[in-house]
Amino acid sequence: MFADMPKSAVKQPAYFIPHGAGPCFFMNWNPTGTWQQMAAFLSGIEAQLPMTPTAILLISAHWQEDAFTLTAAAKPGLIYDYFGFPESTYQLTYPAPGAPELAATIAKRISAAGLPSRLDQRRGLDHGAFIPLKLMFAKADIPVVQLSLQRGLDAAAHLQLGEALAPLREQGVLIVGSGMSFHNMRGYGDPRYTAPSEKFDHWLTEAVQAAPAARYTLLQQWQSAPCAVDCHPLGGEEHLLPLMVVVGAAAADKGSKVYSENVLCTQLSAFRFD
């Protein structure tokens, strides 16, 4: 069905979600309950969808390539790209099928938009993908394709990428950007970062909820936002870039904040577009 891109009866929304810290949802954490509300939000997404997705396209902060690259394995494995966590977290499974045909279709769309793309038949899903998906779609029965960021982290290129992906939503494909609205490793747990994270979160929320043209411009120039570099140090803004892809895929749809919480002294939020 993906090769010819027929229209689905129901268009899927697009999401930008926080994926937490490593395998945080599947281990004991001190203090207890740190990630409980975020886990509940992620677990509730499936019930908020208009239909079961035909597939999931997930853009993870934890994969960067020179060209926008898609997983194309029929049975993608998992990449445990976190360190120093309990042994049990390296035994986690998520046996969702891949979607090689869909991956090839998406690669063609990206290339047609004038952006570099390629397929990777060997790479599996990293923790920015399988950790939140274990909560969002616990049955692991929906095909998953993961899409990389492009090195250089140019906001405009990722917004353009999202525009090329927008028609997939009409096919029932759920587009998910997996990152963090605040990601400065020095700031987690430090109360000095609470106020900066709140200021940036306020700006980010207003940008997301702005009219589509203004939203696009604001996010392309995100570095000028209040406390932006405190929240996403330059050169390390990979956790914000999945939002740019989702905003591009949102086209003219409305953006809204659907989750926000102070976690480890920082404000973290999620957004939905439909």
CATH number at residue 41: 3.40.830.10
CA distance 246 to 103: 17
Classify residue 5: in a domain, yes or no: no
For 261, the enclosing helix (H) or strand (E) is strand 255-263
Domain membership flag for residue 6: no
pLDDT value for 7: 55
Is 73 within a domain?
yes
* pLDDT at res. 129: 98
When computed from its CA atoms, the radius of gyration of the chain, rounded to whole angstroms, is: 17
Residues paired with residue 268 on neighbouring β-strands, in sequence order: 261
- Give the Cα separation of 104 and 5 in Å (integer): 12
Alpha-carbon torsion 243, 89, 43, 56, what sign? positive
What is the count of structural domains for the chain? Answer: 1
Nearest partner of 241 among 63, 105, 34, judged by Cα: 63
Buried residues in 125-150 as b, exposed as e (16+ CB within 10 A):
bbbbbbbbbbbbbeeeebbbbbbbbb
Three-state DSSP class for residue 229: helix
Return the percent helix, strand and coil in the chain, to nearest 5: 40, 20, 40
CA–CA dist 216, 159 (Å, integer): 8
Asked if the structure places residue 121 within a domain, the reply is yes
User: Do 49 and 8 touch, CB atoms closer than 8 A?
Assistant: no
- Tokens representing 159? 């917004």
Q: Is 245 exposed, middle or buried (0-12, 13-18, 19+ CB in 10 A)?
A: buried
Give domain status of residue 2, yes or no: no
Residue 3: inside a domain, yes or no?
A: no
pTM for the model: 0.96
Evaluate whether 242 touches 68 at the Cβ level (below 8 Å). no
- Other CB atoms within 10 Å distance of the CB of residue 29: 14
Instruction: Examine residue 112 and state whether it is found in any structural domain, yes or no.
Output: yes
Q: Which residues pair with 63 in a beta bridge?
A: none
Alpha helices, H only, the chain? 36-44, 100-112, 127-136, 155-165, 194-209, 212-220, 228-231, 241-250
Answer whether residue 8 is part of any domain: no
- Predicted confidence at residue 9, as pLDDT, reads 61
Give the pLDDT confidence score for residue 8 in this predicted structure.
52
Q: What is the pLDDT of residue 107?
A: 98
Rounded CA gap, 225 and 204, in Å?
Answer: 8
The boundaries of the domain holding residue 122 are: 14-273
- pLDDT < 50 stretches in the chain: 1, 3-5
201 contacts 182 by C-beta, under 8 angstroms: yes
